[in-house]
Structure 1
């Protein structure tokens, strides 16, 4: 069966530095896949490669069997792949609502994410909709970044470091939105340094280390020891 998103033997660079070495990954329709790994493992480069903004030097990226590797970022977005980038990258001169509306300028036809649905998902954004994005807390800015990505009506939502730098109570609130996002028809890839959080949300996980997949599988099939060893590169004699 054709996967919703299939990555095969992907090689990519960050500047002159090779960041990915033959990465394979599959995302099935309706799944949440978590990618874990320490800083410098290649997680963000993988996300950027999927959406067409990293330098891919080999391999393939297919969406529902269609080759999308080599397309520009706008073409990939309109085909239904959207990303919440690390660091959120909101437009500081724009209001919350203006940031959200920008996300809807390139939309996949047939989706149903609107401003009203974003405000239902994150009610605090309705209250802050006329405020500049710089006036928001880090957690609220992350909600805007998620909402902006959803406004394109994605089939695949990539979330790069959702919980980075956020308080536990805010992380819980943001991850509480995941079931609603999945019910809308979006499948998700979530990059997480927090192993426990990744195991809670994921149907399958991939562990990256130095640009290579060191472990993959369903959380219930993987021991904590195996995950720990893959994350930190522990070798057994």
Structure 2
């Protein structure tokens, strides 16, 4: 991973040098005036073995299976799999490999930095027809779904939360209505039944009073 970052940093350095030399062009100062800040606490990415990254990337591009040794966090045990890579997803500080396992067709997510060894396999590549990475993400593969169906969230929210949600809604179906004799508002929205939504609610603490969180 350090090698990959070093390679990328060279490209960014060359690009910045080129822009700096274009003093007459207003774009020359753009990189110094624009920043992207992550939402929430940004953790340092986990260390990723350079060789593992290269082999997995090669297998993904060339459609080849890989034999891996994978460390399970909960049991702290190593498992041996033949994986058929279908996609890579970077989420916050962790990179995931979407792959089928051995002879099965269901997609599973493997944390890349827990792949201890990886080698191109002699097994036959098993394509997963119809797989779409965007559909996989939209289906909640990385949102820790509690259930497949969306839920209706009904809650009373404090003024500062209502203001935040009026600018950045939870979903397209969100509705905020004023509560009588109060500066709080009632929130109603269809949201995914996932841990990410639950974590958001818990983070709001006393500023959110959940009335309902169930399937419609």
TM-score range, shorter chain: under 0.3
Normalising by the residue count of structure 1, what TM-score does the alignment of the two structures yield? 0.23
Which protein has greater RCO, CA pairs closer than 8 Å, 6+ apart?
1
If you compute each CA radius of gyration, which structure gives the higher value, 1 or 2?
A: 2
